[in-house]
Amino acid sequence: MNSNIFLSNKPSLLIVDDDERNLKTTQKVLQKLDIIIHTAISGEEALTHIINTKYFLILMDVQMPDMDGFETLRLIRSHDDFKYIPVIFLTAINKEDKYVKKGYKEGAVDYIFKPFNVEILISKINIFLQIYIQKQSISQHTQLLEELVQDRIKAEDKAYKAQEIAEYANQCKSEFLSNMSHELRTPLNAILGFSQLLQLNDDNLNQEQQANVNEILSAGKHLLGLIDEILNLSQIESGKIEILIEEVDLDDVLKQCLSLIKPQIDKQQLELIDNISNKEYRIQADFLRIKQVLLNLLSNAIKYNSEHGHIILDSEIINTSRESQGKQSLRISVTDKGDGLSKEDIARLFSPFVRFNVKVHIEGTGIGLVITKKLVELMDGSIGITSAVGEGSTFWVELPLSCNK
């Protein structure tokens, strides 16, 4: 599949360095890439470029007069239109840990020391280039589908025609996402494969080279996780996922989930307060899917918790509209002690690719909660959240309680 068929122009990359020799050297080694390269000799000039051009990546020096790389990135991140542009710091001076940590804290996606390994730098640029190309393709393809839907709606007088077209457009989108995910796997598996080969032969690598290989593997695995979740979402939306509703022992599910997340809890030094286990609840659900749902909620509670915070698992039997038939629901809640969310954030929480705390270096895809919500609804359940800024969040899931409980 040729991803460039949807792109009107070549992707653009910006190099920022106050030393023109460094600019020319970096520009020269990147010439073989099929991209447009712009340069800037100061933070002020870089900001001017960013206003006028959409960049898929910025390579920026740290030590610059007047406005250094940290301050420049801070200004970029303060503007809603530019705060998601990936920035990689390149530096030959500020190599201490405190500068590296500061770079990540300001929102950089990587921090590379000069002189850099050309092949590794190009590999990292290619990853961001592929992500940018696929995002542009999805955006423009979706726009074409939306235009098709609108044109067909205007041409039809009956409401059921509009629904038919919308379903077709959604199916096309899901198929496109599925195909795109499969297409991305081939080059990504090659990157991961060669990186793993290098890792197996690390006796021939120095310490810096080993660290670079580990960074490539980490970025590759993160991107592979994103692809898997996109594929999962497309399967759900296209109705290709099977749900087997049966009587599920909640204790069994929790036992497996807590066993999987225990290393993360211990690493973050969090306290787990489990008020659900051993109550012998039985619910109507798909075992694998409820396990997937609870793992996602627990993982989020770990990632977005406060330092030395806690996670509380609670349950409550809810009387629902099913009460007339003698049925009830079980509400399972997961509470963290994180920063919490505002009402505006909550309103966008279950939308695809929405992430919060962007200044915090936390890995994530922005799809997990969307998948979680759809899985819960497929199991005839509901999901919600109560949260307040500075007080943490409580995510809850309600599923039918088995009559045998």
Q: CATH number of the domain at 3-116, please? A: 3.40.50.2300
Q: For position 321, what pLDDT does the model report?
A: 59
Q: How many CB atoms lie within 10 A of CB 132?
A: 22
Say if CB 371 and CB 233 are below 8 A apart. Answer: yes
Cα dihedral 125→129→135→138 (10° resolution)? -150
Taking the domains of the chain in order of start, what are their residue ranges? 3-116, 138-237, 246-400
- Report d(CA 108, CA 124) in Å as an integer: 13
Residues of the chain with pLDDT under 50: 1-8, 322-324, 358-360
Specify the DSSP element, H or E, that contains 312: strand 310-318
Mode of pairing for the β-strands spanning 271-274 and 310-318: parallel
Sheet holding 12-16, edge to edge: 36-40, 12-16, 55-61, 87-91, 110-113
* Residue 77 exposure: Cα atoms within 13 Å on the Cβ side: 19
Q: For position 358, what pLDDT does the model report?
A: 44
Mode of pairing for the β-strands spanning 310-318 and 329-335: antiparallel
* Residue 58 exposure: Cα atoms within 13 Å on the Cβ side: 31
Say if CB 109 and CB 86 are below 8 A apart. Answer: yes
Q: Which two tokens stand for residue 75?
A: 């200004």
Among 360, 343, 347, 264, residue whose Cα is nearest residue 311: 264
- Report d(CA 105, CA 109) in Å as an integer: 10
- The neighbouring-strand residues paired with 395 are 334, 385
Q: For position 229, what pLDDT does the model report?
A: 66
Specify the DSSP element, H or E, that contains 302: helix 287-303
Angstrom distances, CA of residue 25 to CA of 29, 34, 126 = 6, 17, 18
Q: CATH number of the domain at 246-400, please? A: 3.30.565.10
DSSP 37-84: EEEESSHHHHHHHHHHS-EEEEEEES--SSS-HHHHHHHHHTSTTTTT
- Report d(CA 300, CA 317) in Å as an integer: 24
- Report d(CA 148, CA 20) in Å as an integer: 49
Say if CB 72 and CB 50 are below 8 A apart. Answer: no
* Phi–psi pair at 326, nearest 5 degrees: 75, 25
Say if CB 106 and CB 78 are below 8 A apart. Answer: no
| Cα 294 from chain centre | 18
Residue whose pair of structure tokens reads 């073989």 in the numeric block: 32
